[in-house]
Chains A and B, each alone.
Chain A
């Protein structure tokens, strides 16, 4: 029995292992497409959520309250965070100044399977917006009106973990100001579990990096998440999601 298993392992592996250079490219492309589908899936879900949230806020016709925002956001966060095999460690909505009051923000953000309410005390502060305006995950989607990925970074506000935060602006009118942002936190740890197998199929030094070349997950033992990396030319590079790059052979800087 144990003998059968031990021979079955290598055989499957050698079957999957490409024999010709053309197959190398094909297997790698499949693995890269798998990772792209994961990240693009998160980005797509966020875009959809931003549109739904914008429409629901617009329907409140100027009478937006904290309670109403909680009621709108919490069920979605619950679904995202508790989805079996899902990627969200936490998610939520943060109001831009103006939606609930001039200097006021409002945070409706929950994390973990028990839906722990994040930064809830800030909602009682009249100048709560000051807490978020400098943060990249809030500032960039608000300023540019476009989706953004922050990190990997150590998230002091919520999880105290090493995370990526995907954020998307929310509009109540197509030409209007940004009403707020919706976002999803994904821990690097979770991505590592989801990406390592695919990376190893591409190669021993295959690395998923953010737009700055900072490693998120790498198959190489000398490249840690957070290290700056560069592609070891000539190597294959594949776009993953809107901003990440998968490089078949990376070197640490």
Chain B
């Protein structure tokens, strides 16, 4: 289903939950609504579902304005955060519910339920009640129930929030495969950036009720369009005075410019590790954390503290070590503008061409 949202506003009492949100979604895409808790993601999702009224703006499905349609008539499937399974119905009963209210024939319902049970890997659990299932199984029942009436749009509200880390990972890729196979337009809400980056075709970053940026995970990572997005995606450090960093001296042309530096922009090592020593400055290692697949190194340069990753293959650094620090690039921003700047000293001032 093709979805178009324009000028969407929503207020709860005095709280402005959603402000001027505009976006368009192509058919068959999987979209992640990402942002901090309380940022308005769920409100947007609920307005798409018709569970919340719209204050201002238009929601258009397939060229048809649906603002005034109740949820029953929108042709959507909704997976709730805590699944909201009908607790007095069995797995089968839950999946069949939407078909029964749509007055499908008994035989058709039976076939469709069997198909979905198969699809979601719930065979053998048809007669169980929700309280007899694990979190992951409940999630799949909720998914099957939402899909049963063949909706055109699937909405998922924090679908993995209540599941433990290991199974969450499995379920994520399972969901991705499933949605790819069905080709159904889907939107899910999450506050977990890894989840959004891993699963979504496109991410929409929502903050304080506004859509900050929409794009593929890579676009958003590579080219954040606002300081909020830059800071929200990935781990990063903010340096108050960008021009104090070595190689970024000309940032002082724009007074009041701050720098946001991601761990992967920073490299630490011994002086012999760098080709152009002049682009580095010396710092001292403050802390080293083992992250399972890499080291997370906190290093202090002057009064700024930067964070970087270090491969386990490289020589181990210890707190207190003197190291050379190279900042490859920085994301600079001030009140009016933001841009990415490369380290000016990294280019060899006297290149030798042979």
Q: Note whether A and B form a binding pair.
A: no
Chain A positions within 8 Å of B, measured between CB atoms, are none
* B residues at A contact (CB < 8 Å): none
